[in-house]
Structures are given as structure tokens and as C-alpha cells.
Amino acid sequence: MARLTVLEPEAMYPDTSLEQEVFGPEVEILHGGAPHTESLDMLPDEVCARVDGLLIFRHWLKPHHIARFPRLKAVVRMGVGYDRLDRAACAARGIKVCNVPDYGTMEVADHAIALTLALRRGIALHHDLQRADPPAAWRYVDSPLIRRLEVQGFGIVGLGRIGTAVALRAKALGFKVRFFDPHLPNGVDRALGIGRARTLEELLAGADVLSIHVPDTRTTRGLIGAAQLALLPKGAVVINTARGTSLDIEALEAALRSGQLAGAGLDVIPVEPPVEPVPNLLAAYRRREPWLTGRLIVTPHSAFHTPEAWADIRRKSAETMRDVLLHGHSHNEIPPHSD
């Protein structure tokens, strides 16, 4: 069997020792050539001609890129989302596309809960008020944000790995947890000891906290818009640590301004990184407009980030690529039209 070649173009890690350990001597590893700030277009033709497996983190993989890799057999997205990969073009060439769905489950779940508590316990609110000039009086502030956890419904849209981890954390804190996910079989709710909503509308009506955990697909884009936000109980909080495309950010701004929503925590926005003109809500947040004091927390798609998660990305990506290229397995394979 001819030696296989795997390319990790971004040089995300300082060396390839771990990957070589995972792959063994049967695989040659190429490292670098297209930093994340660039594109795969900058790779030399002679490098592309040798590649059997491609590890992708930040790059887009479009049909003209795929055409440059005549030997390509497998692409592994070093993360959960796969919207940057043209899966149809890969399928036309018989190229398997896989992802790494379990590298940051704990981190993202923790982040969703942290955003929830920072808002619902008034931590962000009092923090903002106490560092104001002049600072607010040394006392608590009454706000629609602040409520006892056990009286609140916690609604989860999408009960995959991360959604499940969030459900267990929210349940442990005393929230009344329910989820909506039409793709799961009966009995999941009973196994976890949480409630299930049969429709999205049913979930929204009882969600004092709404936490979104869906991928970016044709069916999830714009899933939560003005009509859906209006169904939430007045004073609800919305958390999104999944993909920014699932939540209409203009509708979110309107719901916050009207008081329909008490607050929101966002780790994702529709276009990342944000480009000018940025969404009105983000612009108001950056200007520290008084109406948003303590009501909005934005983090830069960092929910997954820990040293441990980065180590998982590295090892699990290499293991997935090894299993596909060397053993013919289909672990974590993404069908060309799974959405």
C-alpha cells in the first residue's frame, strides 16, 4: 500500500508529533502552507497533488478548492460545524466528509449555563452598575432579569450532545427543563428526567430561558425570529452558543428594546467575525447604550475554548482521519444533504 498523505494547512499546533503517533508510519503529515487568515488558494499545486486527507478548521472548502486535490479521499472538519465545507462537491468526487462533534461539549454547555446565571442572577447587571461613573447606590436593583431558578422554565432547542449536557446542568440547578427536537425517538425525556415539547411553539410558551443548540442548516436558519420571540413569556432570556444564523438578531434587538425579553447571552452572531456595518444590537452593546445595561452579554465564539478542548480537537481529528483513511470506517461522517 502506497504511503498516504494528510495535510493540516493552518499549522494550528507547533508540530505534528501527536498526529504522527495517531497515524503511525503509514501516513505522511504535511503541516502549514495556508494560515487561517488566508485561503486554500495559496497552497502550491505540487502539495495539493499529494494529499489524500485534508484537515480543515477555519478555511472554506469550495468546489474550486476540491478540484485542486486529485487524490483527496477524506476531509475532517476540526470542530462541530460543517457549513464551510461544500459537501455536495465532495460527494460528487466520492470524498468522505467527517466532523469532530464531541470535543467541546462540556465547555459549551458550561458557557450556556454561565451566560444564563450571569443574567438571571443579576451578575452582569450589578457589575455594570457598580463600575458606572458615578457608581450606582450600594444596594440590589429590582429587575425583570432576576428570578429564582426553580420557578423558571428552561427550554432547549436541539437536544444533541451539547443540548443534553445543558439540560443536565440546568436540571441540577433546579430549572424546569424541557426540550424540542423532532429528530429524537420517544423516551429521551424519560431517560433524562426532563420534559419534552412536541412543537417549537409549545416549548417557547413556557421558556423563561431559551437556550439554542442547533447546527447551521437550511431548516435552522432563521428558526427563532420575531414571531417566535413573541411567544416567550415576557421577561424571558435567550442564550445562543450554537450558530448565529438560527437567531434573527434584528428581531432580538426589537424584543429587548420593547421589554419582551429581559436579556440575552450570545456567543455567536450571524456573520463572524463581524464586519461593518455590524448589527444594530452589537453596535449598541459596544457603545454601552444605557438601555442594554446588564441585559446583554456577548462573547466572541469562545464558548468551546479551553486547553483541554484544543487538545481534544487535535487528537480526535487525527483519530477520525486515521479511521477513515486506514481502516475504511465512517465515524462522524456527514452525509452530503444531512440538513
Q: Cβ(177)–Cβ(195) under 8 Å?
A: yes
* Type and span of the H or E element at 204: helix 200-205
164-172: long-range contacts, CB 8 A cutoff, minimum separation 24: 164/192, 165/105, 165/106, 165/108, 165/109, 166/109, 166/112, 166/113, 166/211, 166/213, 167/192, 167/194, 168/192, 169/109, 169/110, 169/113, 170/113, 170/116, 170/209, 170/211
**Catalytic residue from among 243, 295, 314, 322:** 243
Beta strands in the chain (DSSP E): 4-8, 27-31, 53-56, 74-77, 96-98, 153-157, 176-180, 195-196, 209-212, 236-240, 261-266, 296-298
**Catalytic residue from among 26, 201, 272, 308:** 272
Cα–Cα nearest to 53, from 13, 11, 89, 3: 3
- From CA 309, how far away is CA 179, in angstroms rounded? 26
- From CA 59, how far away is CA 225, in angstroms rounded? 29
Whether residue 301 lies in the annotated active site: yes
- From CA 77, how far away is CA 91, in angstroms rounded? 15
**Catalytic residue from among 31, 58, 84, 301:** 301
- From CA 5, how far away is CA 102, in angstroms rounded? 25
Q: Show which residues are catalytic.
A: 243, 272, 301
